[in-house]
Structure 1
């Protein structure tokens, strides 16, 4: 078994494949224009790369790290966020400017359904841990669209802060974390009532948010302040349990995509403007090293094969 990172270099239309044993780029792949977001299938065999300005979805064979198919649709207009159902059989894709969600069969790589959100700038895809619900942040509408996976229908929209982009559900399934890039805040929301339970100030222009596998931490990439907000999700102090920013960790310029390795020992942050990755050791919450990649790295995924 080998461990690799798949890093999308937006401004040179390439993917860097980093071998985590050597911490070096093992291979570089040409893609369609402006690769933004990536997701790896549950079995690790394929990756899907949304090329936003090329209006294509590239399908990568993870054995060879080569593009094996290109998926297109007339209503692709800045295809961006991608996510997989819990059984891995379907891929959800958010197309930002057409404001639609595409559901793709991962066995045939064919588009099965197109669902308009009727919201402004539907940008990312995030599944609940139980796989039953999809959350779609709408940057221009300042809200979140909720979709039911079983029925493949929209069930709700609820307001959040201005410019929501980074969205993820805590592994306990009870709390949705939303990073609002236009006012530098984190909202912690009850997934049943949609009540905002906590508001927290984070760094400047928070754009990505991921949880550690054990749910102890949420990491938020702050683009303009060049750092990562480390949120301890259940900090205990004076008899109170609360989510709290315990550290703001400096990384490269324009922090973007973040991913954890399988055991959660390390996190990797794509630094858009220093063209490298920050390697964060989670036991110390410190940057261990940098790995050079391509120009404007952003979307990032981990694969073990």
Structure 2
């Protein structure tokens, strides 16, 4: 079985199962209303899909590519960001308008707990590489909520730039990258002190941020400038090592979700308004091709072939 991409087409209530090598859609699956974000389970057997306007989490069986369950809760109000603990036993879900974090047992697929962030527009979920910390960007409060996974409690809120959305920790665990969509900036923080070490300008309305598997690059999808900022996380120049935008690469219209192939050789960018996915060659840092999907693709995930 080939490697596949799972692409969410949020304005036709479907997902596309795409051959990662050829770009051909093998199957289109109906979902609940307005699928936005997704995450593949650690064992690769199922995919969790946050259907934001349907106020449900759909569960896809990756063996049959059929939706097998719809998880709901009275406090789901635009469920959006998703993330898994390192052992895969817990799924964290951010619900944007109810401003709550849900913790779900992935064995039973039942909600275990609900925590209110006390902040405005809690939108995404991002784990530290060691799995001990969860960062939740609050778009309306211009900060990040920090949760401890051992106690499953909030420990603090970190002020950042205006309208944070794309958030990720570098694979070395030392630097936290935050893309602030209302001011077109990237903030890079020390994960221990939460001090802002660097500020960088990026494209217009940065909404997603993903590291390459080796940590060499961070890719930032800039929604309204229709491009991707490529950040060299440790550029060496004039005796200095620093994170630096080395290229701003045009892609389709309204760049959104980004995912890397496991070997880091390719990156895939969902282009919301051109209904396609850009394939970036990470050796040349060039867009090598695009392939068509459904209407307004956004969330995207990579599913490795099963042996």
CA distance in 2, matches of 1:208, 1:249: 15
| 2:201 paired residue number | 201
- Structure 2 distance, partners of 1:21, 1:64, is 20
Counterpart residue number, 1:242: 242
SS at match of 1:236: strand
Counterpart for residue 97 of structure 1: 97
TM-score w.r.t. length of structure 1: 0.99
Stretches of structure 1 lacking an aligned partner (at least 5 in a row): none
1:288 aligns with 288
**Counterpart for residue 152 of structure 1:** 152
Deviations 1:79-123 (A, max 9, x none): 000000000000000000000000000000000000000000000
SS in 1 for 2:73: coil
Residue correspondence of structure 1 range 109-188 to structure 2 within 5 A: 109-188=109-188
Q: Distance in 1 between matches of 2:167 and 2:2?
A: 29
The whole-number CA distance in structure 1 between the counterparts of 2:297 and 2:20 is 17
**1:119-164 deviation digits (Å, cap 9, x = unpaired):** 0000000000000000000000000000000000000001000000
How far is the alpha carbon of 1:10 from its aligned partner? 0.6
Q: Per the alignment, in what secondary structure is the counterpart of residue 111 of structure 1?
A: strand
Whole-Å Cα distance in 2 between the matches of residues 233 and 135 of structure 1?
A: 20
Counterparts of 2:294 and 2:28 in 1: how far apart (Å)?
9
Match of residue 253 from structure 2 = 253
Give the SS at the match of 1:98. coil
Tell me how far 1:23 sits from its aligned partner: 1.5
Q: C-alpha separation between the residues in 1 aligned to 2:197 and 2:95? A: 30
The Cα shift of 1:21 comes to 2.9
Whole-angstrom distance in 2 between the partners of 1:213 and 1:74:
37
Matched, 1:231 2:231: yes
Q: Deviations over 1:47-81 (max 9, x none)?
A: 00000000000000001111011100000000000
Tell me the secondary structure at the aligned position of residue 173 of structure 1.
Answer: coil
Gaps in structure 2 of 5+ consecutive residues: none
Shift of 1:20: 1.4
What is the rounded CA distance, in whole Å, between the counterparts of 2:123 and 2:166 in structure 1? 10
Give, in angstroms, the shift of residue 22 of structure 1: 2.3
In the alignment, the residues of structure 2 paired with residue 147 and residue 172 of structure 1 have an alpha-carbon distance, to the nearest angstrom, of: 19
SS of the aligned residue for 1:75 comes to: coil
The alpha carbon displacement at 1:250 in A equals 0.3
Distance 2:20 2:227 in 1: 23
CA distance in 2, matches of 1:241, 1:21: 35
1:19 aligns with 19
Deviation at 1:258? 0.2
Distance in 1 between residues matched to 2:91 and 2:106, nearest whole Å: 6
Deviation of the 1:281 alpha carbon: 0.4
2:192 matched residue in structure 1: 192
Q: Find the aligned partners of 2:185 and 2:111 in 1 and give their Cα distance.
A: 35
Give the aligned length. 305
CA RMSD in angstroms, aligned pairs only: 0.5
Q: Post-superposition shift, 1:37?
A: 0.1
For 1:303, the equivalent position in structure 2 comes to 303
Give the alignment of 1:7-46 within 5 angstroms: 7-46=7-46
